[in-house]
Structure 1
Amino acid sequence: MSQATVLYDAPGPKARTRSRIISVLGVLALAALLGWVVWRLIQPQVAVNGNETPGMLDPSRWDVLAYSEVWQYIGRGAWNTIRAAAVAMVGAMLLGMLFVFGRLADSALVRVPVAVILEFFRGMPVLLMMLFILLVASTGAFWAVVIALIIYNGAIVGEALRAGILALNKGQREAGLSIGLTPVRTRLLIEFPQAFTQMLPILVAQMVVLLKDTSLGYIVAYSELAKTVKDASTFYGNRYLFTFWVVAVVIYLAINLTVSWFGRRMARFAAARGGRGAGATKGLAGPAAAEAGGEIAITPPPGSSAR
C-alpha cells in the first residue's frame, strides 16, 4: 500500500508508467512542432504574383548583420531601452513607497484622495499616458516614456507593497509603537523592509513588464529597441524584417533574464540578511532592535517572572 503524503497519495507503478509515457509523448510532440516550424522557415516564400523569395533561414536574409553600422544602430536602440527602463524602475519604486504611506495613512483626508489617484493611474493605458504627457507637458520623447512608466508602475508597486504590509502580523507594528517609535518610523523601519522582501518576486516581475512596456515609446517617436528594429527593416528592406526581429527578441530576452537573475540574487541576499538580523537582534529591546530589522523581543524588567 502506498504511503499517503500531505496532499496526495504517492503514485503507484501504473501511475508512474503512465506519467513516463505522457512525458515522452509530450517531448515528441514538442520536437515535431519545432521541426515543422524550422521546415516552414526554410521553405521559399511565394508571393501572390508568383515571385519567389528565399526562406527565412537563407543566408541571403542574414548578411545584413555583417555590417557594423547595423549593430551600432541596434545598440543605440537597446541602450535607449535600458536607460529609460532603469530610470523608470527607480522612480516607480520611490513613487510606490509614497503611495503606500498615503494609502495606509490614518487620516481619511490623505487616504481617500491617494486611493482615487492610484486607481485612476492603474486604469489609464500607458500608451495614452505617454501621448498625453508629451502633448500637454512638452517633456520630450524620453521623459514622456519615463514619466508614464513611473506613474503606472508606481501605482502597481504601491498596491503590491500595501498588500505585503497588510499581510504582516499586527504584532510587528504594535512592538514598534511600544518601544517608542513613531507610526511613520515603525512603518519605514519594521514593516516596509519585511513587506519588500515578501513581495520581491512580484516586484521583479513588474519590473520586467516595465522594461517591455518601453516598446510603447513608438507613439512619441522614442527610438527604443523595437522602433529601431522596425526602422532598420524599413531602411534595408522587408526581406530583413524577420532577421531584425529575431535580433530584437534575443536582446529583450537577454535583458529580461538579467533583470530576473538580479531579482533572485536580491531575494536570496535579503533572506540571508533577514536571518542574520533575526539572530543578532534576538533578546534586544528598544530602537536598536527595530533599526536592525530583526525580530523584536521585549526583555522583562529584572525581578519579574516570565510566564
Structure 2
Amino acid sequence: MSTTLFDEPGPRARRHIRVATVAGTLAAIALAVLAVRQFAANGQLDAARWQPYATWPMWRYLLTGLWSTALAAVVSAALAMAFGLVLALGRLSHQAWLRRPAAAYVEVVRTIPALLLVYVVLFALPRYGLDLPLFWKLVVPLSVSNAAAFAEIFRAGINSVERGQTEAGLAVGLTRGQAMRLVVLPQAARRVLPSIVSQSVGLLKDTSLGFVVSYAELLYSGKVLAAYNGLLIQTYVVVALIYLVVNASLSKLARVLESRPALYARRSARA
C-alpha cells in the first residue's frame, strides 16, 4: 500500500524539480564563493584569526557548551516524550473528559512559538512566585512545546497499527489497557522511531534559545567566546560546524531507522 501523501510527479514535474535543484545549488555555490571572497578581502581568512581554534582550551570551552546543549536536549526530549505519550493516549480515549483537554492542549500549544513560552517562564512566572532554576527555564518551555509534537507522532503511530492487533489481544483475555500497553504501543514505537529522532533534532536546535535565559549552551558559549576574543565570524563558523555535524549525524540515524522496516520486508520476502 502506498504511503505517499501526494501524487507522484510526472516527467514534466521531475524536469522542473531537477532544474530548480540545479539552479538552487548553483545560487548557493555562488553565494558561498562571494562570501569567501569578501571574508578574504577583509582579512577574515588569515591564519592568525583561526589559529586559536587549533588549541585545546578553546575546544574545551565549546565542548562544555555542547555538553550543556546535549543535557538540556535529552532532558527536554525525555519529558516531552513522556507527556506526549500521555496526551496521545488521552486524545485516543473514549472518555470525553480526557479526549477534549488533550486535544485542546495539542492544538493550542502547536500554534505557540517556543520562544514565547521561554519568555513566559522567564518573565511571567517569577511575578507569581515561581522562579525556576536556570536549567529549567529552558527545559520546561521546550518540554511543553515539544510534547504537543510528540503527542501527534505517537497518535499517528498508534493509529497505524491494525485494529485487529487490539482485537487479538482482547480475544486472548487482555484488558483494553493491557492490549494497548503490551501489543499496540511496542509496534507503534518501532514505527514512529524515525519521526521521534527527527523531532529530537529540531528540539536540539531549539536549545539555542538558551541564550535568552543566559543558559550556557553551545550558542551562548560561542557568544561569550566571541565577545572575549573578538573573533566573531570565526567563532560562529566553528559553532555552526559543530551544530552541522551533530544534527547531520542524528538525521542520518533517522534515515537509517526509517529504512530498516523496508529492509526487513525485503529479507522476509526473499526467505
TM-score above 0.5, yes or no: yes
Please tell me the residue identity of whatever aligns with 2:214. A
Give 1:219's aligned residue.
Answer: 212
Give 2:192's aligned residue.
Answer: 199
Give 1:68's aligned residue.
Answer: 56
What whole-Å deviation, never above 9, does each CA across 1:181-227 have from its counterpart, x for those lacking one?
A: 21112222222233223333322221100000000011211111111
Provide the alpha-carbon RMSD of the alignment. 3.4
**Separation in structure 2 between the aligned mates of residue 107 and residue 251 of structure 1, nearest angstrom:** 47
Indicate the SS of the match to 1:123: coil
Indicate the SS of the match to 1:222: coil
Matched, 1:38 2:36: yes
Residues 48-197 of structure 1: pairs in structure 2 closer than 5 A: 54=43, 56-134=44-122, 135-136=125-126, 137-197=130-190
Indicate the SS of the match to 1:138: coil
**Separation in structure 1 between the aligned mates of residue 169 and residue 265 of structure 2, nearest angstrom:** 17
Structure-2-length-normalised TM-score = 0.80
The answer to whether the Cα contact below 8 Å between 1:197 and 1:267 also exists between their aligned partners in 2 is: no
Please tell me the residue identity of whatever aligns with 1:223. A
What whole-Å deviation, never above 9, does each CA across 1:227-263 have from its counterpart, x for those lacking one?
A: 11011111112xx111001110111112112322333
Matched, 1:256 2:247: yes
Q: Percent of aligned positions with the same letter in both sequences? A: 36
Matched, 1:244 2:240: no
Please tell me the residue identity of whatever aligns with 1:247. V
Q: 1:149 to 1:23 in 2, by over 3 A?
A: closer
Q: Relative to total residues, which structure has the larger helix share, 1 or 2?
A: 2
Gaps spanning 5+ residues in structure 1: where? 1-6, 45-53, 280-307
**Separation in structure 2 between the aligned mates of residue 8 and residue 213 of structure 1, nearest angstrom:** 34
Give 2:4's aligned residue.
Answer: none
Please tell me the residue identity of whatever aligns with 1:143. W
Please tell me the residue identity of whatever aligns with 1:128. L
Aligned residues: 257
**Separation in structure 1 between the aligned mates of residue 18 and residue 131 of structure 2, nearest angstrom:** 61
Deviation of the 1:25 alpha carbon: 8.1
**Separation in structure 2 between the aligned mates of residue 243 and residue 235 of structure 1, nearest angstrom:** 13
**Separation in structure 1 between the aligned mates of residue 23 and residue 103 of structure 2, nearest angstrom:** 51
Deviation of the 1:111 alpha carbon: 1.1
Give 2:5's aligned residue.
Answer: none
Please tell me the residue identity of whatever aligns with 2:83. L
The answer to whether the Cα contact below 8 Å between 1:197 and 1:271 also exists between their aligned partners in 2 is: no
Structure-1-length-normalised TM-score = 0.71
Between 1 and 2, higher relative CO (CA 8 Å, sep ≥ 6) is seen in: 2
**Separation in structure 2 between the aligned mates of residue 151 and residue 127 of structure 1, nearest angstrom:** 12
Higher mean C-alpha displacement, 155-164 vs 265-274? 265-274
Q: 1:221 to 1:191 in 2, by over 3 A?
A: same
